[in-house]
Amino acid sequence: MEKIRLSKLMSEQGLCSRREADRYIERGWVFVDGMQISELGSKILPSQKITLHKAAQSQQTQLVTILVNKPVGYVSGQPEPGYQPAVQLIKPDAQFCNQPPCKHFKPVHLKNLAPAGRLDIDSQGLLIFTQDGRIARQLIGNDSSIEKEYLVRVKGHLPEDKLKLLNHGLSLDGKVLKPAKIQWQNEDQLRFVLREGKKRQIRRMCELVGLQVTGLKRVRIGKIRLGNLPEGRWRYLEDRERF
């Protein structure tokens, strides 16, 4: 059996991200079959047991995940000329407390905070930022099957056969899309539920069946709903909440 880089295996097993794995290894917080491993680049067999020191487990419990109701005009990740990154919305006076008492904002919560998925600049709704590599992998890893739900306003005519095609049968970038759940919400709005997230996927899918998207809002990721979080505000993922 071929050996695999320890940090990669830790990420694949959902213990942490690869970057976090390297930090834990350097600090001597990683054990393989009970033996401490502190050398970066170490390789082990997939069958070997990996455990983390209590210090690493304690640090993981302090990592935060933040939900933002992104308005149109903000970018999810790297800033673009003339536009602001959505992470700039995460400031003390924009915090929304869903169920008091709420976690108190600390500047350290912005350190290594990264978006777990995209939301186009001209789209709005639920956007997740996290310090926790386990959550990032759960939401955007190659094997992620977390549902994302969107409300999409459209213009154009959509016959029944084209609606069936939206649900399954379209291809983007030369690859067949995974089956989706798409239905009419009202006379000009569709409800999309997807298990993948290609760049501008919904807009491109609609173009393929002759529809023009005039508004797009993400309202759910897994079990987490946008709910009553106001536009432009943010809140912490609560300890009891799971995707």
120 tagged catalytic: yes
Q: Distance (Å, rounded) from C-alpha 203 to C-alpha 57?
A: 41
- Identify the active-site residue in 22, 33, 93, 120: 120
Q: Distance (Å, rounded) from C-alpha 34 to C-alpha 49?
A: 8
β partners of residue 51: 31
CB 123 within 8 A of CB 216: yes
18-26 helix and 133-140 helix, angle to the nearest 10 degrees: 160
Backbone phi and psi for residue 123, each to the nearest 5 degrees, phi listed first: -120, 165
| C-alpha distances in Å from residue 180, one per residue of 79, 80, 206, 208 | 31, 31, 13, 15
Q: Distance (Å, rounded) from C-alpha 211 to C-alpha 227?
A: 28
Q: Which sequence positions are flagged as catalytic? A: 120
